[in-house]
Chains A and B, each alone.
Chain A
Amino acid sequence: GQSLEQPSEVTAVEGAIVQINCTYQTSGFYGLSWYQQHDGGAPTFLSYNGLDGLEETGRFSSFLSRSDSYGYLLLQELQMKDSASYFCAVPNSGGYQKVTFGTGTKLQVIP
């Protein structure tokens, strides 16, 4: 089966940088995705890493190390609107037909 572990909560100051970690155990590995979910809202896709290394999309970057079964999401220049839950997720096959989500990290940005 698949399991993904994340810290449950992180607090960071507006304007700062925060890193949200994800460690995974999977029976096969096809990449790591990140989703953002505001309270009461739907998950929204942020990024995907299929290969080792860093992917950058604006203020958000995501990193993957397949040898360490580890990835992280890096949020820079934090804004109050970044307060949300962040989930890492892995597909169970190359067809992405079944996706397992991590336990989720609730990020609180404070002034």
Chain B
Amino acid sequence: EPEVTQTPSHQVTQMGQEVILRCVPISNHLYFYWYRQILGQKVEFLVSFYNNEISEKSEIFDDQFSVERPDGSNFTLKIRSTKLEDSAMYFCASNNRGEEQFFGPGTRLTVL
């Protein structure tokens, strides 16, 4: 069964450094999403992406964040200058419109 994959599973970085989180959505999906989840808290929407552009973003998704689909399979989230409060689990998801989103296993980001 096709699934969303994410790399790395765990990323440790120093405050102020740039990180890129990578996702490979399900191959025939057209809509892509990033969410984050701080430990013990709810899942928070960051951004959705369709047709090579951002379609929606949340208040969390400020100028420090960017997304890109550099080729036909990858979808990346870049954080330019990480802060301590960016430490969280980051989930990528994809679908073909509709209510069901398919989530990847997540990348745990730890900012020191």
Is A44's CB within 8 Å of the partner chain B? Answer: yes
Is A87's CB within 8 Å of the partner chain B? Answer: yes
Residues of chain A with a CB closer than 8 A to B41's CB: 104
Q: Which residue of A lies closest to B55 (CB)?
A: A97
Residue pairs across A and B with CB atoms within 8 Å: the count is 55
In the complex the two chains form, is B56's CB within 8 Å of A98's CB? yes
Is A63's CB within 8 Å of the partner chain B? Answer: no
Q: Of A48, A100, A101, A104, which contacts B99 at CB under 8 A?
A: A48
In the complex the two chains form, is B43's CB within 8 Å of A95's CB? no
Residues of chain A with a CB closer than 8 A to B44's CB: 101
Chain B residues with CB under 8 Å of chain A are: 31, 33, 41-45, 48, 50, 55-56, 58, 91, 95, 97-106
A-B contact pairs, 16 of them (CB 8 A): A35-B43, A42-B104, A43-B91, A44-B103, A45-B99, A45-B100, A87-B42, A96-B95, A96-B98, A97-B31, A97-B48, A98-B58, A99-B33, A101-B43, A101-B45, A103-B42
